Amino acid sequence: MATVVTPSTSIRASTGVGKRRALAVGGAALAPTTVWLLAQVTGVELEVIMAGQPPMVISLPFVVATALAASLAGWAALALLQRMIGRARALWTGLAITALLASFGPVAIAEATAETRILLALMHIVVAGVLILGMRGTVPAHGSTDGRQGRS
């Protein structure tokens, strides 16, 4: 007689969460590509000058790598908060929105055209929007259960 071993529900659920979070990170990393392509189609050169630095052209690989790094940092922060506190969803969302607002600082102080500033700010909004919506959906609201006592 053969014995069938199946993963427990909690293992399958956590694997599903990991896949959904990976998709959110991937989507957030690729989302600003559309804004970058819009800049190319409209002829806007995404070039900025930071104080004391030579001009920097914002390339597509730079856009994707930066969005990926920020998204992975967001995932790590969420995972850490989930291990530490019970209100991870609300706190992480606030942290993510704060990070979005802080990300506008360099856009505001860089020397760039108005069109470049608008498109860069739009890239930040797109990345944050995809990441926040994608990640929030993987965390139970406070008070609901996820298989661990007193954690969400």
Average pLDDT over residues 98-103: 97
Q: What pLDDT, on the 0 to 100 scale, is given for residue 147?
A: 41
DSSP 8-state code for residue 45: -
Percentage of the chain beyond pLDDT 90 is 77
- Does the pLDDT at position 49 exceed 80? yes
In total, how many domains does the chain have?
A: 1
Write the CA distances from 32 to 18, 78, 104, 143, 152, integer angstroms.
Answer: 22, 22, 15, 34, 30
What pLDDT, in 10s, does the model give residues 112-135?
A: 999 999 999 999 999 999 999 999
Kindly state whether residue 60 falls inside one of the protein's structural domains. Answer: yes
> How is residue 16 written in tokens?
């599903």
Kindly state whether residue 6 falls inside one of the protein's structural domains. Answer: no
| Helix (H/G/I), strand (E/B), else coil: 56 | strand
Kindly state whether residue 53 falls inside one of the protein's structural domains. Answer: yes
Average pLDDT over residues 68-84: 95
Kindly state whether residue 35 falls inside one of the protein's structural domains. Answer: yes
Q: What pLDDT, on the 0 to 100 scale, is given for residue 87?
A: 85
Q: What pLDDT, on the 0 to 100 scale, is given for residue 36?
A: 98
Higher-pLDDT residue of 141 and 54 is: 54
Average pLDDT over residues 46-70: 96
Domain coverage including residue 65: 17-136
Average pLDDT over residues 60-82: 96
- CB neighbour class for 63 (10 Å; exposed up to 12, middle 13-18, buried from 19): buried
Kindly state whether residue 123 falls inside one of the protein's structural domains. Answer: yes
Kindly state whether residue 141 falls inside one of the protein's structural domains. Answer: no
Helical spans, DSSP H, in 8-59: 9-30, 32-42
Helical spans, DSSP H, in 59-149: 60-84, 88-109, 114-136
Kindly state whether residue 80 falls inside one of the protein's structural domains. Answer: yes
